[in-house]
């Protein structure tokens, strides 16, 4: 396949090599981070549970893959000293386990039966302490806290307008915009204030907001990022059956605490969970804009970001990933070698595992090629920061510290590696070099998404256009040659779209593959 049309830059291998050489010197935290877009953030919320902060903690733990820089929880509780509702918050840099390592945080600090939480990967704003969410405020209508997943696309205009009105920003994150817009609203109820603020903002957002009126959750009018609502049945201290309500970016967070999904929050929808919900089960629903546009769900959530055991946008991620692998095998099968070596399919763990199963099965059962699925790469989950000896090849060492090829599976075999995406390609190149040392007879690569050619402005951290490997070569053959493999094929955009669920009124954002941005991007 020649995809010169997709590629913006002409072939320039020397430039590309100098870019990747510079990146070799850059500090990276883990191997995957360098070759994958960074998942944006994870948000959670819970209303009506006596251990709300502990439940939020467990939910954040299962959403750790959506952000590893920082974590935070805010709770609302009745403060007897001041005789009214107050908030408590704990927010730090680090993984959830480290940030909440002291058990007394859940009993002595984060009190109350409502909580929201956030895992942060810095898509906007520096990775400093002030930017860690939830962001909390006391204003004319009481107290309010916000957790946000996504990126706004009209931040500069909003910030300028708010500053002209006297707003002073404390963070460099676009999430603070919501607080200022809510505080500046002249509307009389908190729900109306939030609704007005959401109408002014543009871009991708999924929000959990704690207010004195209850827990509010919302998805932007195009619904770029996922957010679901669920319920958690429990027995209280008086042995009475009770139900708490929860929201989370992915349903794997519900599984963690034994909650069940009620539904995906709709695009252009804002819901309110309050004491009335606890009594009647009714979740109040509001439209953000009067007219609901066609949804533009992020297609990359299915390809890579979300966990396969989650449901997002009302669908199983696992099922879609298998279909991606199946469609890839139909489009680009791998054949046994001329001397009869069967096809051995291996995944790049963990993100490529599920789609690899789909690929292997289809290559065997539908394409009728002698095919086996094998575990060819063992991944260490305990990498952390590794001390690199002076003079050591930094990238190669980091790859080795994370993946080890299983020689018995690879040696003298006809191997096809299945992975979900290639962004820079630098780490993948080192990984392929490592696999080559185990002496495969043939080494092929199949990717369950099209070439990534454009950055994301709706809440994913992609490298710049010139850092994307697909923008430096004219064909997949050239990329394959650069990576050091015998053949490379990407899933086509048509087959990617065919693989994802088709619901009425739902479409997809595919901008990082096509450059077609569904929501206007503000010029700098």
Of residues 16-35, those binding ligand SF4 (CB under 6 A): none
Among 31, 177, 224, 415, binds ligand SF4 (CB under 6 A): 224
Contact 73, 90 (CB under 8 A): yes
Residues with Cβ < 8 Å from 313, sequence gap 6 or more?
223, 226, 264, 297, 301, 501, 503, 506
- Nearer Cβ to ligand SF4 (88/500): 500
Least distance (Å) between residue 503 CB and ligand SF4: 17
313 counts as binding ligand SF4 under rule CB under 6 A: no
Q: CA torsion, points 187, 191, 196, 200, in degrees to nearest 10?
A: 150
- Sign of the torsion formed by the C-alpha atoms of 433, 439, 442 and 443: negative
416 counts as binding ligand SF4 under rule CB under 6 A: no
Active site residue 41: yes
- Nearer Cβ to ligand SF4 (106/458): 458
Contact 414, 337 (CB under 8 A): yes
Least distance (Å) between residue 340 CB and ligand SF4: 41
Cα 74 to chain center, whole Å?
22
Q: Give the residue closest to ligand SF4 by C-beta.
A: 456
Least distance (Å) between residue 476 CB and ligand SF4: 20
- Sign of the torsion formed by the C-alpha atoms of 380, 383, 388 and 391: positive
Least distance (Å) between residue 203 CB and ligand SF4: 10
Helix orientation angle between 176-184 and 155-164, rounded to the nearest 10 degrees: 40
Task: Tell me, residue by residue from 283 to 312, as one string, x for binding to ligand SF4 by CB under 6 A and - for no binding.
Answer: ---------------xxx------------
- Sign of the torsion formed by the C-alpha atoms of 126, 127, 133 and 137: negative
- Nearer Cβ to ligand SF4 (403/458): 458
324 counts as binding ligand SF4 under rule CB under 6 A: no
511 counts as binding ligand SF4 under rule CB under 6 A: yes
Rounded to whole angstroms, the Cα distance separating 416 from 403 reads 16
Least distance (Å) between residue 159 CB and ligand SF4: 22
Cα 518 to chain center, whole Å?
19
Phi-psi region of 500 (alpha: psi -120 to 50; beta: other; left: phi over 0): beta
Least distance (Å) between residue 424 CB and ligand SF4: 15
Cis peptide before 202 (omega within 30 of 0): no
The number of residues that bind ligand SF4 (CB under 6 A) is 11
- Nearer Cβ to ligand SF4 (260/494): 494
Residues with Cβ < 8 Å from 223, sequence gap 6 or more?
266, 267, 268, 295, 296, 297, 313
- Nearer Cβ to ligand SF4 (440/450): 450
Of residues 423-462, those binding ligand SF4 (CB under 6 A): 456, 458, 460
Of residues 474-493, those binding ligand SF4 (CB under 6 A): none
- Nearer Cβ to ligand SF4 (205/373): 205
- DSSP, res 303: I
- Binding stretches for ligand SF4 (CB under 6 A): 224, 298-300, 456, 458, 460, 509-512
Q: Which residues are catalytic?
A: 41
């Amino acid at each position: 396949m020649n995809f010169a049309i997709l590629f913006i830059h002409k072939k320039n291998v020397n430039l590309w090599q100098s870019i990747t050489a510079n990146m070799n010197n850059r500090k990276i935290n883990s191997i995957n981070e360098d070759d994958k877009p960074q998942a944006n953030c994870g948000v959670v919320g819970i209303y009506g549970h006596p251990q709300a902060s502990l439940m939020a903690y467990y939910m954040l733990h299962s959403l750790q893959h959506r952000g590893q820089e920082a974590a935070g929880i805010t709770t609302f509780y009745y403060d007897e000293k001041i005789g009214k509702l107050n908030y408590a918050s704990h927010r730090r840099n680090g993984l959830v386990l480290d940030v909440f390592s002291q058990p007394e945080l859940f009993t002595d600090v984060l009190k109350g039966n409502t909580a929201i939480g956030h895992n942060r990967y810095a898509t906007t704003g520096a990775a400093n302490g002030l930017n860690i969410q939830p962001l909390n405020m006391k204003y004319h209508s009481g107290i309010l806290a916000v957790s946000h997943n996504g990126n706004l696309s009209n931040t500069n205009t909003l910030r300028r307008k708010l500053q002209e009105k006297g707003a002073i920003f404390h963070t460099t994150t676009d999430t603070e915009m919501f607080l200022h817009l809510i505080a500046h609203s002249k509307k009389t109820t908190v729900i109306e204030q939030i609704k007005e603020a959401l109408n002014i903002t543009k871009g991708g957002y999924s929000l959990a907001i704690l207010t004195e009126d209850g827990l509010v959750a919302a998805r932007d009018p195009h619904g770029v990022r996922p957010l679901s609502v669920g319920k958690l049945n429990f027995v209280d201290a008086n042995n009475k059956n009770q139900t708490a309500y929860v929201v989370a970016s992915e349903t794997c967070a519900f599984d963690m605490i034994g909650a069940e999904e009620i539904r995906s929050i709709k695009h252009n929808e804002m819901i309110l969970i309050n004491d009335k919900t606890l009594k009647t089960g009714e979740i109040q629903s509001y439209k953000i804009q009067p007219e609901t546009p066609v949804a533009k769900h992020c297609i990359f959530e299915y390809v890579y970001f979300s966990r396969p055991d989650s449901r997002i946008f009302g669908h199983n991620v696992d099922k879609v990933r298998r279909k991606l692998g199946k469609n890839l095998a139909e489009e680009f099968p791998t054949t046994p070698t001329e001397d009869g070596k069967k096809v051995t399919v291996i995944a790049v763990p963990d993100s490529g595992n599920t789609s690899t199963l789909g690929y292997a099965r289809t290559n065997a059962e539908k394409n009728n090629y002698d095919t086996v699925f094998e575990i060819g790469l063992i991944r260490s989950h305990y990498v952390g920061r590794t001390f690199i000896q002076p003079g050591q090849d930094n990238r190669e060492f980091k790859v080795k510290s994370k993946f080890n090829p299983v020689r018995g599976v690879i040696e003298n075999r006809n191997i096809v590696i299945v992975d979900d995406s290639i962004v820079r390609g630098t780490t993948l190149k080192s990984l392929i070099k490592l696999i080559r040392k185990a002496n495969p007879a043939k080494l092929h690569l199949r990717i369950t998404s099209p070439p990534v050619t454009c950055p994301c402005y709706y809440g994913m951290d992609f490298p710049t256009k010139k850092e994307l490997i697909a923008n430096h070569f004219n064909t997949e053959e050239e990329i394959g040659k650069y990576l050091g493999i015998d053949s490379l094929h990407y899933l086509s955009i048509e087959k990617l779209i065919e693989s994802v669920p088709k619901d009425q009124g739902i479409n997809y954002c595919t901008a990082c593959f096509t450059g077609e941005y569904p929501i206007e991007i503000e010029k700098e």
